[in-house]
C-alpha cells in the first residue's frame, strides 16, 4: 500500500473511532445495531465496498437500513457486483474490519487483505459504489460516514442514490453492471411495463370468480409505502390504497405495523379496522424486501388469516408451472429444437410449513431444501432454469437463467402469432422482467401476485384455501454454547451432540404428521426448536419435549 493511501485512511479513520466493548458480526442482514454506535462500522463498510469494487472491477452497492428492526436501530450491508449479497468469502474480513480496535490495526488489516487479494490500490483500476438508505432519521449521518469510507480509497467514487428500498439498490447494482440505465424511474418503468404486458395476456372471460381490484397495503411507515405511492400512479388497472406510509402522524417505522409484525404476531396492523373485513390486504416490511398478505376475517376480531411466503411461493409456482405445461405441447411443437428440458426448482428451508411442501410435491414439482438464510436459497435457486424461493417471512423471488431467457425469446419469434403457446412464452418473459432478479422485492412481488390472482380469477379467500397449514410452534432454548449443536441435511438433522437426533426422532414418531428440528442461532446463545403436528395441542407438546431434550443434552 502506498504511503499516500495509508495516510488518507489513517486520517479518515480517526474521525470514526469504534465503540468500546462492542463486537459486530456480518450476517445475512449485514451489520445491525443501535444507530448511535454504528458510524465507525458504516465508515469501514464504505472501505470494504470500495475494495470490493477494485477487486471485481465492477460497481458495488452499499445500503444503510435495519429492515424490520425498531426505528432506533440501523445497519449496513453490501450488494455484490451481480446484485445479490456479498460473497461469503469476504464476511470474515468484514468482521475483522468492523472490530479492529484502533486505526493502526485497521490499516494493517486492510494492507494485508489487499495484498492477499491482489487489490490494486492506487493503480490503473478505478471503482464506484452506489449508496442508498431508508427513511430512518439516523440514515443521513450514517450516509456521510459511508461516503467518507468509500472516498478514503483512492480512485473509488461514491454515488449517493438517496432514499431507496433495499431491493431498488440491489436492482440498480445488477443492471448498471449490465450496462443499463438505473434511475428510480427506470425501475418503476420496468415494473409497470411488464405489468401491462401481463395484463394484456390474461385470457378474457374465463375467470370463474369476480375479481376485486381493491388492494389495501400496509407500508410499515417505511420507505416501501412511500415508493409504492409513486409506483401505483403507473398501474391504472390496480386500485391500491397505501396506509402507514410514514407521513407525519401515521405512526413509527415498524411499530405494530409491517410484514414482520403481521407474520409473527398474526394480528391486524395499526391503520386497519372493521371496515376492511373481507378485503385483500398486504403488508411490506421497513425496507420493502418482504411481503405477506392477510385477510381481516370478521368485525371485532384482532387476529388475521395470514397468507405468508409459503402461500406466495405456491401461487407463483402454480402460475409458472402452468405456462411451462402450455409450452410443453410436443404435438404442436413438432421440431426437436423446441424440446428444451426446462428445469423448474422450488427452494425452501426447513421452516417452510410442511403442508406447503406436500402441496407442491403432490403437483409434481421438484422441492429442495437449503439451510436457513437468503444467501443459501438464492444460490440454490440460481442452479435451475427457473428457481423459485420464498421464506415464510415473505422474502423471496423467482430467478430465470440467461440460457432459458434466450431460448424463450427465440421461441416467441418462432411460434404462431397469438397462439396459446406464444402467449405462455410471453407471460414467462414478462414475469422475468417484472420480478426482481437480484433479491426479494416486496414491490415487484406485490405487482406480480396481483397479476397472477387476476389471471387465476381468484379472490384472496380462494388463494388462502390452497392448503391448510399444519399447526407449528417455535421455541428458543438458552444454552451456554450454541456451537455445541452441529446440524446436517439443510439443518434438519443433528450430528452433535450424539444421541440428540435419536431422542427427537422418538418424540416425532408419537404424533400424526409430526416433524421437528433444532438449529443453533446465528446471533445469540440459544438453540431454536421448530415443531409441526396435526393439532396445536400436539405441536405444543412436541416442541416442549424437544426443547427439554436440548436442555438435557446441552445442560
Catalytic residue ranges: 67
The three cell numbers locating residue 357: 411442501
- Asked whether residue 392 is marked as a ligand-binding residue, the answer is yes
307 touches 353 (CB < 8 A)? no
- Asked whether residue 431 is marked as a ligand-binding residue, the answer is no
CB 522: neighbour CB atoms within 10 A? 13
- Asked whether residue 441 is marked as a ligand-binding residue, the answer is no
167 touches 439 (CB < 8 A)? yes
DSSP 3-state assignment of 176?
helix
CA–CA dist 17, 154 (Å, integer): 21
- Please choose, from the candidates 376, 391, 394, 395, the residue with its C-alpha nearest in 3D space to the C-alpha of residue 530: 391
DSSP 3-state assignment of 129?
strand
Q: Where are the alpha helices (DSSP H) in 300-441?
A: 309-327, 330-333, 354-362, 374-381, 402-414, 420-434
CA–CA dist 88, 187 (Å, integer): 28
The three cell numbers locating residue 72: 432506533
The three cell numbers locating residue 315: 401461487
CA–CA dist 544, 550 (Å, integer): 10
Name residue 127's beta-bridge partners. Answer: 156
Provide the CB-side half-sphere exposure for 515 (13 A, CA).
15
Query: What secondary structure letter does DSSP report for 281?
Result: E
- Asked whether residue 391 is marked as a ligand-binding residue, the answer is yes
- Asked whether residue 519 is marked as a ligand-binding residue, the answer is yes
- Asked whether residue 305 is marked as a ligand-binding residue, the answer is no
Is the peptide bond prior to 489 cis by the omega test (within 30 degrees of 0)? no
- Asked whether residue 469 is marked as a ligand-binding residue, the answer is no
- Asked whether residue 105 is marked as a ligand-binding residue, the answer is no
CA–CA dist 281, 447 (Å, integer): 13
365 touches 346 (CB < 8 A)? yes
Provide the CB-side half-sphere exposure for 507 (13 A, CA).
27
262 touches 218 (CB < 8 A)? yes
- Asked whether residue 67 is marked as a ligand-binding residue, the answer is yes
CA–CA dist 96, 26 (Å, integer): 10
- Asked whether residue 522 is marked as a ligand-binding residue, the answer is yes
CA–CA dist 456, 202 (Å, integer): 9
CA–CA dist 390, 291 (Å, integer): 10
The three cell numbers locating residue 236: 391504472
Name residue 369's beta-bridge partners. Answer: 348
Query: What secondary structure letter does DSSP report for 365?
Result: -
Helix axes 223-231 and 184-200, enclosed angle (nearest 10): 60
296 touches 216 (CB < 8 A)? no
Kindly report the backbone phi and psi dihedral angles of residue 239, in degrees, each rounded to the nearest multiple of 5, phi listed first: -105, 80
- Asked whether residue 523 is marked as a ligand-binding residue, the answer is yes
Binding site residues, as ranges? 67, 285, 287, 289, 391-393, 519-523, 528
Q: Which residues are annotated as a binding site for Mg(2+)?
A: 67, 285, 287, 289
Binding-site positions for substrate read: 391-393, 519-523, 528
Amino acid at each position: 500500500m502506498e504511503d499516500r493511501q495509508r495516510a488518507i485512511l489513517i486520517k479518515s479513520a480517526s474521525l470514526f473511532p469504534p465503540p468500546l466493548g462492542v463486537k459486530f458480526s456480518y450476517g445475512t442482514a449485514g451489520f445491525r445495531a443501535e444507530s448511535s454506535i454504528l458510524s465507525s462500522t458504516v465508515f469501514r463498510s464504505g472501505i470494504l465496498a470500495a475494495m470490493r469494487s477494485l477487486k471485481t472491477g465492477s460497481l458495488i452497492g452499499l445500503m444503510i437500513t435495519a429492515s424490520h428492526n425498531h426505528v432506533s436501530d440501523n445497519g449496513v450491508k453490501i450488494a455484490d457486483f451481480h446484485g445479490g449479497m456479498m460473497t461469503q468469502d469476504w464476511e470474515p474480513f468484514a468482521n475483522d474490519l468492523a472490530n479492529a480496535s484502533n486505526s493502526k490495526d485497521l490499516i494493517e488489516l486492510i494492507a494485508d487483505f489487499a495484498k492477499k487479494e491482489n487489490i490494486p490500490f492506487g493503480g490503473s483500476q478505478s471503482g464506484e459504489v452506489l449508496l442508498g438508505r431508508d427513511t430512518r432519521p439516523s440514515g443521513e449521518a450514517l450516509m456521510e460516514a459511508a461516503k467518507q469510507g468509500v472516498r478514503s480509497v483512492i480512485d473509488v467514487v461514491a454515488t449517493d442514490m438517496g432514499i431507496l428500498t433495499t431491493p431498488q439498490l440491489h436492482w440498480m447494482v445488477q443492471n448498471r453492471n449490465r450496462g443499463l440505465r438505473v434511475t428510480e424511474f427506470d425501475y418503476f418503468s420496468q415494473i409497470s411495463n411488464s405489468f401491462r404486458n401481463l395484463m394484456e395476456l390474461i385470457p378474457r372471460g374465463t375467470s370463474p370468480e369476480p375479481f376485486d381490484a381493491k388492494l389495501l397495503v400496509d407500508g410499515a411507515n417505511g420507505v416501501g409505502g412511500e415508493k409504492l405511492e409513486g409506483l401505483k400512479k403507473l398501474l391504472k388497472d390496480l386500485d391500491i390504497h397505501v396506509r402507514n406510509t410514514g407521513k407525519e402522524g401515521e405512526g413509527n417505522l415498524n411499530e405494530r405495523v409491517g410484514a414482520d409484525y403481521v407474520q409473527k404476531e398474526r394480528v391486524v396492523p395499526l391503520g386497519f379496522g372493521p371496515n376492511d373485513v373481507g378485503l385483500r390486504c398486504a403488508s411490506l416490511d421497513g425496507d420493502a424486501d418482504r411481503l405477506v398478505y392477510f385477510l381481516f376475517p370478521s368485525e371485532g376480531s384482532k387476529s388475521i388469516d395470514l397468507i405468508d411466503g409459503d402461500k406466495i411461493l405456491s401461487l407463483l409456482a402454480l402460475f409458472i408451472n402452468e405456462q411451462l405445461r402450455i409450452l410443453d405441447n410436443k404435438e404442436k411443437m413438432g421440431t426437436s429444437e423446441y424440446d428444451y428440458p426446462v428445469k423448474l426448482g422450488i427452494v425452501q428451508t426447513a421452516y417452510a410449513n410442511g403442508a406447503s411442501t406436500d402441496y407442491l410435491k403432490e403437483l409434481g414439482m421438484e422441492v429442495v431444501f437449503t439451510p436457513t438464510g437468503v444467501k443459501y436459497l438464492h444460490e440454490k435457486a440460481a442452479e435451475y432454469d427457473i428457481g423459485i424461493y420464498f421464506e415464510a417471512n415473505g422474502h423471496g423471488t423467482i430467478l430465470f437463467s440467461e440460457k432459458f431467457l434466450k431460448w424463450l425469446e427465440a421461441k416467441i419469434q418462432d411460434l404462431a402469432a397469438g397462439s396459446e403457446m406464444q402467449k405462455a412464452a410471453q407471460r414467462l418473459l414478462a414475469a422475468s422482467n417484472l420480478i426482481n432478479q437480484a433479491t426479494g422485492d416486496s414491490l415487484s412481488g406485490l405487482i406480480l401476485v396481483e397479476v397472477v390472482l387476476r389471471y387465476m380469477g381468484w379472490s384472496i379467500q380462494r388463494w388462502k384455501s390452497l392448503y391448510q397449514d399444519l399447526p407449528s410452534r417455535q421455541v428458543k432454548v438458552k444454552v451456554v454454547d450454541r456451537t455445541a449443536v452441529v446440524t446436517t441435511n439443510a439443518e434438519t438433522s443433528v450430528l452433535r451432540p450424539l444421541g440428540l437426533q435419536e431422542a427427537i426422532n422418538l418424540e416425532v414418531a408419537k404424533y400424526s404428521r409430526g416433524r421437528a428440528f433444532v438449529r443453533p442461532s446465528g446471533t445469540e446463545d440459544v438453540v431454536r426448536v421448530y415443531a409441526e403436528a396435526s393439532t396445536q395441542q400436539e405441536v405444543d407438546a412436541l416442541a416442549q419435549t424437544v426443547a427439554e431434550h436440548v436442555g438435557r443434552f446441552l445442560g
